[in-house]
A = this chain, B = another copy of it.
């Protein structure tokens, strides 16, 4: 029952307050006759309430659903009976009887990724306002789990699903749509019946960073990419290349990352050794940026004096980091809200044709970026001379 301090052991102690009895996890099946799973716990039903109040079940139902078909007096009677008995209606019976449940689903890749909680929260908040319940599924980046998540949504007969992950096949999306379940999707899927599209303006965000760095005198701007498989990553990379060319700069060097701290760290070390070293680094997200900064600092390169770093997504991390990170706010809270609005519109409208929503991006300047180092300035001026004005 006691315990001792040992830094290397996960200490979990089980203190059983009750006298030990045979119902442990390994309890043999033979004597498991009267488990609560078997005897249906006769719970309070609407009929009990009706009897107690001396009315019909229909009246109770009408009171609970505020249809306005019940007289004032009866209404109060029913309500007080409900309170007295502690009756809570059964959500499942309700849904079954009424046909259409007011539920939305949201599917995300990874709830631990700081990107998602905010989206989930705003989605759920907005859904509530519109009178929907929300259920969440986390796929853990696993396509099989994604299919399971979609199936769960169908089983629960949701009215709409906000798909916030890319590990999902178009086929699955269409399967949902065919069942008349509204879907919002990020980027990939084309708009069609029951399917709307949420598009984050990555291109504009990247453009703003390049523009900003350019104006600070940076000319060698590296890019730390993410996982090549993810479409949104490819989009950002392309946008980087295009924006660079737009201001007359050659893209590169481009380093591989993994969207995680570790990848950024490695990239930071690599960049420190580069010659000539870039004067600015665009990381594909904040987490990578934090890693890059750490890597550079470990290698003795000062940020932002010697090199500027930028992130993307404006997670809280950007704010907490030391130095704070220059990043792009893609308005994650809008993402969730708009998803809910879009689903609502699709499921309420008589014409369920999808739409496309574009969500803007906004540059947020932090401490991790500054003017290009002075020794670069002469070069800059030379560059100015040879590059035509935009």
Contacts and interface: CB of A to CB of B under 8 A. Distances in A.
Contacts of A317: 317, 320
A356 B32 contact: no
Nearest to A322: B322
A362 B10 contact: yes
Given A294-B322, A360-B10, A352 B36 contact: yes
Interface in A1-49: 3, 5, 7-18, 21, 23, 25, 32, 34-37, 40-41, 43
A96 B90 contact: yes
Contact of A12 (B138, B349, B354, B359): B359
A360 B13 contact: yes
Interface stretch (A53-61, A68-76, A154-162, A215-223): A154-162
Interface in A94-123: 94-96, 99-101, 111-112, 114, 116-118, 120-121
Contact of A92 (B96, B116, B355): B96
A136 B111 CA distance: 12
A319 interface: yes
Interface string A336-348: 0010000001011
User: In the complex, which range does the number of interface residues on chain A fall in?
Assistant: 35 or more
Given A40-B99, A120-B111, A155-B91, A351 B18 contact: yes
Interface in A180-206: 180, 191, 201, 204
Nearest to A194: B36
A358 interface: yes
A247 interface: no
B355 A23 contact: no
